[in-house]
Amino acid sequence: MEYLIHLAILFAIYAILGISLNLVVGYAGLLSVTQSAFYGIGAYATAILLTGYGVNFFLSVILGMLVAGVVSFAIGLVLSKFNGDYYALVSFGFNIIVFSIFLNWQELTRGPLGIPGISRPLLEIGNWKLEISSNLHFLILASLFLILVYFISRFIVNSSFGRVLKAIREDEKAIQVFGYRTSLYKSIIFVIGAMMAAIAGSLFASYITFIDPSSFTLNESIFILAIIILGGLANLRGSILGALFLILLPEILRFVGFPDSIAAQMRQVVYGVILVLLMLYRPQGLVGEYKL
């Protein structure tokens, strides 16, 4: 049972990451490969505030979102100068820069040693306190955050703001003719996506109770991108479905019964083949409405 709860918590965290990136890639058409950087900023903000300053977890989430928002705004200003493949390459570079900061700013992040002893969330209302120490309680908390992120995102994409984002994705120059400042819209959605990713980072740090830079590499950004491409671009439910598929598939393959000597390698092969086949025959993703 604990194993299933663990998987469900990871699913909730990656579903939040998927939704946050789908707003940027699926709805605005901005091919960003830097989501794990904001994920890491949220995680490190919570880890540092909880271990070094005794800040309440929920306050650390808000502060982590603000830090991610400021950083993403600065990055977004640079990215706004680029389009298409160049946008992806520059975002790729920013991911590496942020990872390098996590790795080398040892006075703040402890570098490759990581930050241990991160406490679980503590809910305080007056004199009443509840420490969310059990994994089941943490799953409920992560699920509540996922629901909140989902409904905020749905409100955004169904609003006039969301319709402008879709228009930018389809033909940015055409929407500029009508007087829309497309760079402003792209910056706003980029910041919103980063702040949502920071929420996932805070949850991850408090759940694992230890973080180090290896959790926020470029590979992590590519995995998050794979979630939304597989599940479906420009579809919030697709982000959730993609996260569920990619979290559960490796675990399901553990029970296929490959010989012990090649089990790990065969699981990776089967995992890769399934993804390739899905992309060949369903390039828009399982429930997607848009293809890159």
**pLDDT at 292 (0 to 100):** 66
How many structural domains compose the chain?
Answer: 1
Tell me the pLDDT tens digit for each residue of 102-147: 999 999 999 999 999 999 998 777 677 777 889 999 999 999 999 9
Residue 228 lies in a domain: no
Residue 282 lies in a domain: no
The pairing of strands 128-131 and 122-125 is: antiparallel
**pLDDT at 84 (0 to 100):** 80
Residue 171 lies in a domain: yes
With cut-offs at 50, 70 and 90, classify the pLDDT of residue 278: confident
Enumerate residues 6+ apart whose C-beta is below 8 A from 104. Answer: 111
| Range from 24-38, 149-163, 166-180 carrying the lowest mean pLDDT | 166-180
C-alpha 114/C-alpha 107 separation (Å) is 11
Q: What angle do CA 223, 228, 232 make, to 5 degrees?
A: 150
Higher pLDDT, 249 or 144: 144
DSSP one-letter string for 90-115: HHHHHHHHHHHHHHH-HHHH-GGG-B
Q: HEC profile for 201-243?
A: HHHHHHHHCCECHHHHCHHHHHHHHHHHHHHCECCHHHHHHHH
- pTM for this structure? 0.94
Query: Is residue 227's pLDDT more than 80?
Result: yes
Higher pLDDT, 93 or 256: 93
**pLDDT at 126 (0 to 100):** 67
Tokens of 105: 């700013």
- Beta partners for 125? 128
User: Which phi-psi region, left, alpha or beta, contains residue 29 (left: φ > 0; alpha: ψ -120 to 50)?
Assistant: left
Residue 155 lies in a domain: yes
Query: Is residue 267's pLDDT more than 70?
Result: no
Per the structure, the complete domain to which residue 77 belongs is given by 2-215
Query: Is residue 257's pLDDT more than 90?
Result: no
Residue 121 lies in a domain: yes
| Range from 9-23, 113-127, 214-228, 258-272 carrying the lowest mean pLDDT | 258-272
Residue 66 lies in a domain: yes
Query: Is residue 265's pLDDT more than 80?
Result: no
Tell me the pLDDT tens digit for each residue of 28-49: 999 999 999 999 999 999 999 9
Residue 51 lies in a domain: yes
| Range from 117-131, 169-183, 199-213 carrying the lowest mean pLDDT | 117-131
Residue 173 lies in a domain: yes
Instruction: Please choose, from the candidates 204, 225, 224, the residue with its C-alpha nearest in 3D space to the C-alpha of residue 45.
Output: 204
